Chain A
Amino acid sequence: MELTGLSIDQAPPIAAPLRFFLTAPLFGVLAGVLILMSDASVLISRYSIDSIIVTHAITIGFFAFIMLGSLTQMLPVLASAKIVRVKGVTLVSYILLSVGLLCMILGLKFDIKLFITLAYLMLGSGFLILILSILYAIKGVSHFTATIRGMLASMIFALMIVLIGTVLLYEYSNNSISEYHYILANIHSAWAIFGFSGLLIIGVAFQVLPMFYVAPKFKQFCKRRVVFLISIGLVIWLFLNIYAEEYALYAKLWIVTFFWAFATTVWLKFNRRKRPISDVTVLYWRAASIFLTLGSFLWIFDEFFKHEYIVMVAILIGGGFILSIMIGMIYKIVPFLVWFHLNAMGYMSIPTINEMIDKDLAKIQFVIMMLSLVGFVFAFYMPKILMPSAVYFIISMLLLEYNILAPVFIYKNTKKREPDFDMSAFS
């Protein structure tokens, strides 16, 4: 066994994940502003340029930032796996992804080909650097748990959707929309939601729910088979979608069954959790279960209505399920990281992680976010409420940024004084 590569003390510097976490809500604000600049009649079509840029401000700017940022932090703890040159890798990919995403938004919105070209180069390379580094770290893991299998499957889907996404963006850059464009786009979006995000969330839930909430453990069947069965479903769906579209519904049913079961399981596990604590993160997990259930059924229902409801499905699953879990997660991770790094440096008299974020403000942020999400869903029938919902969304994202900045300021201010305890004896 290689002892020099021990990951126990290889957690990345606090800036690596925080950079991603603190930027994510800003892209959320940008997504809200982009909705305000658009129109309900345009956003109702999933392939309109405005829909594409709003979606990617959220999916890349928020989801991918939170998920990849968390992975750099979680891999050493959950998998004892270290990312080689984690400091450099996270910084370079962060810059490429941030600038690349801005180029994509500006390039598509104002039809500037140079920006679109820059976007696919930067987003493609930014994602590849980080995803391949994570995959390389996972490769070295000797003991594969259910969570690590979820992470691995998720990263393989992530790799595929990045490659497809790069091709799609390339087509926009030289006005050569191929006949396969929309099939690829469909695969890109379904794999992004259910493969990249869905599998990662399920994999992490196996570990996090019993751990942080002392909820009952997941059954062995779930832990051993579900990630594999969903992955197979997604691959079968891909082939049916291309070669026998009339049967694609069966693969959808297969995938949806597992996600609906997951949503129900999460709900029940929270009912039976042993910890009496009920904070904003529990509310977000609960909300995510409800939205996922509704979204899963609507995805099937949509099949019989010529995909009229696909945007609503995207709001329910993307906004309601994935976004809720991501926000819930950073509310837990950011204060803990601050506490952990300060404490390890010898600062003992610091606020506990519960005291770092104002609980009432976090709940207000949750309520405003829920109002905006429900508003977005109903805007489908009442276009008038789209704009107020976008305003709520922006306010909620700004509040989120404020809430997670609070612990970061505690970190900065505490570091200005001398530690209470000299930890050098341990280093």
Chain B
Amino acid sequence: MSTIKEYLTNDHRKCDEIFAKMEEGANNSLESAKELAEEFVADMERHFQMEERVMFLEFETKTGMTQGPTAMMRQEHTQMRALMQQLLEAIDAGNKEKFFGLSETLMILLQQHNMKEEQMLYTMAQQHLSAESDRIVEMMDSLIVE
């Protein structure tokens, strides 16, 4: 079974792939990107919840740090959720200019967020939670999105 770090990092890459496909679709027509955008938003939401409802909680319980990196990551999740909502609205409104403005912003926010998680938080989580790694990955894998 993959480690927490591998599991969540791979999930980042999956989201990146769909994001790129969505932009490619939108370049042809916003209509054709609608489905991909919905898939992307759903995958992202699932990833956020795997972190917020499972991994972050385990990490916070283990280390006692509730105001540290996880709080910062939760805040950036909020920022991204707002942007994704606007992204879907831009598709519905057929506003291509707005869509690409938002997607560019989301892209950079997302990538620097991923980097912080992959370089630091996941490494820390793996160190603190190595004994429970399999159980946590399993819980994330079987999570039902709320």
Mark A residues whose CB is within 8 Å of B.
Answer: 1, 3, 6-9, 77-80, 142-143, 145, 207, 211-212, 214, 274-277, 332, 336, 339-340, 343-344, 348, 351-355, 423, 426
Contacts and interface: CB of A to CB of B under 8 A. Distances in A.
B128 to A, nearest CB: 8
Contact of A80 (B65, B100, B105, B120): B120
A352 B105 contact: yes
A214 B111 CA distance: 10
Contact of B82 (A332, A339, A348): A348
B63 interface: yes
Contacts of A355: 101
Contacts of A343: 79
Nearest to B65: A3
Interface in B81-109: 82, 98, 100-102, 104-105, 107-109
A8 B69 contact: yes
B72 A9 contact: yes
A78 B23 contact: no
Interface residues of chain B: helix, strand, loop or mixed (majority)? helix
B121 interface: yes
Q: Which size bracket describes the interface of B in this complex?
A: 35 or more
Nearest to B124: A1
Interface of B: 16, 19-20, 23-24, 27, 63, 65, 68-69, 71-75, 78-79, 82, 98, 100-102, 104-105, 107-109, 111-112, 115-116, 119-121, 123-124, 127
B115 A78 contact: yes
Contact of A426 (B20, B68, B71, B121): B71
B108 to A, nearest CB: 5
Given A8-B121, A77-B115, A426 B78 contact: yes
Q: Most A CB atoms within 10 A — which of B73, B74, B120?
A: B120
B55 to A, nearest CB: 15
A348 B68 CA distance: 23
B127 A1 contact: yes
B115 to A, nearest CB: 6
B24 A344 contact: no
Interface residues of chain A: helix, strand, loop or mixed (majority)? loop
Given A77-B112, A78-B115, A355-B101, A275 B23 contact: yes
Contacts of A353: 101, 104-105, 108
Contacts of A145: 119
A355 B90 CA distance: 14
Contacts of B104: 277, 352-354
A352 B108 CA distance: 11
A353 to B, nearest CB: 5
A78 B116 CA distance: 7
Contacts of A80: 116, 119-120
B121 A277 contact: no
A214 B69 contact: no
Given A8-B69, A143-B123, A274 B102 contact: no
A332 B108 CA distance: 9
Q: Most A CB atoms within 10 A — which of B23, B69, B105, B112?
A: B105
Nearest to A348: B82
B23 A423 contact: no
Given A80-B119, A212-B111, A343-B79, A3 B105 contact: no
B131 to A, nearest CB: 16
Contacts of A352: 98, 101-102, 104-105
A354 B121 CA distance: 29
Contacts of A423: 75
Given A1-B124, A78-B119, A274-B20, A354 B100 contact: yes
Contacts of A339: 105, 109
B79 A344 contact: yes
Nearest to A352: B101
Q: Most B CB atoms within 10 A — which of A7, A8, A340?
A: A8
B108 A212 contact: yes
Contact of B100 (A9, A143, A212, A277): A277
Q: Most B CB atoms within 10 A — which of A78, A207, A211?
A: A211
A214 B12 CA distance: 13
A343 B106 CA distance: 12
A3 B124 CA distance: 10
**Which 8 interchain pairs have the tightest Cβ spacing?**
A352-B101, A354-B101, A276-B27, A274-B20, A80-B120, A426-B75, A8-B69, A352-B105
